[in-house]
């Protein structure tokens, strides 16, 4: 695996080393030793899948508060998404800043998201599917989110938003969200 630091400290794009031949390829998605060398989560508590049928669907910006704040490893298994993270760590020099990675099934890239970040994505294709590894279990009482269109954050979504949950429409702006960690 190749780990490329993103502009928000602790976040990485993870590219697979594909070993291929005429049959296809083999690639490792996770290696405790490789993640450990960078001080990244070495254990996953939960693995989830997210499927979005419609291009332009937006999901996010979601996070978990302590004691269930979790790191994530996200991979696109079908289609393509514009994946976004926002730093919500108290005292971070990049607090409130965002960055993005385009994840595609064909490219195989992944994003490592440290605990203390909000996460969301917009589908760039119909029938987009994401695989999520979480370092802690989901806890509804520790769930949080912030508004995807907050002007203070300024995320430049690439497409018109065609599908959005009522919950995500009504999330608060960054200035009303307490920092995490």
- Cite the active site residues: 62, 132
Tell me, letter by letter, the H, E, C secondary structure of 19-63: EEECCEEECCCCCHHHHHHCCCCCCCCEEEEEEECCCCEEEEEEE
| CA separation, residue 139 to residues 2, 46, 60, 112, 119 (Å) | 31, 12, 16, 20, 16
Q: Which residue has the tokens 């969301």?
A: 120
């Amino acid at each position: 695996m190749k780990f490329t630091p993103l502009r928000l400290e602790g976040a990485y794009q993870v590219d697979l080393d594909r070993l291929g031949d005429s049959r296809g390829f083999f690639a490792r998605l996770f290696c405790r030793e490789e993640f450990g060398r960078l001080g990244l989560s070495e254990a996953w508590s939960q693995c989830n899948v997210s499927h979005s049928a419609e291009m332009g669907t937006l999901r996010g910006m979601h996070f978990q508060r302590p004691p269930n704040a979790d790191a994530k490893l996200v991979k696109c298994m079908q289609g393509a998404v514009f994946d976004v993270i926002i730093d919500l760590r108290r005292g971070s020099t990049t607090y409130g800043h965002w960055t993005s990675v385009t994840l595609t099934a064909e490219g195989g890239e992944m994003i490592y998201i440290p605990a203390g970040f909000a996460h969301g994505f917009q589908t760039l294709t119909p029938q987009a599917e994401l695989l999520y590894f979480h370092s802690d279990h989901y806890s509804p009482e520790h769930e949080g989110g912030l508004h995807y269109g907050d002007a203070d954050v300024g995320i430049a979504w690439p497409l018109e938003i065609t599908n959005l949950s009522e919950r995500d429409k009504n999330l608060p702006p960054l200035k009303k969200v307490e920092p995490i960690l």
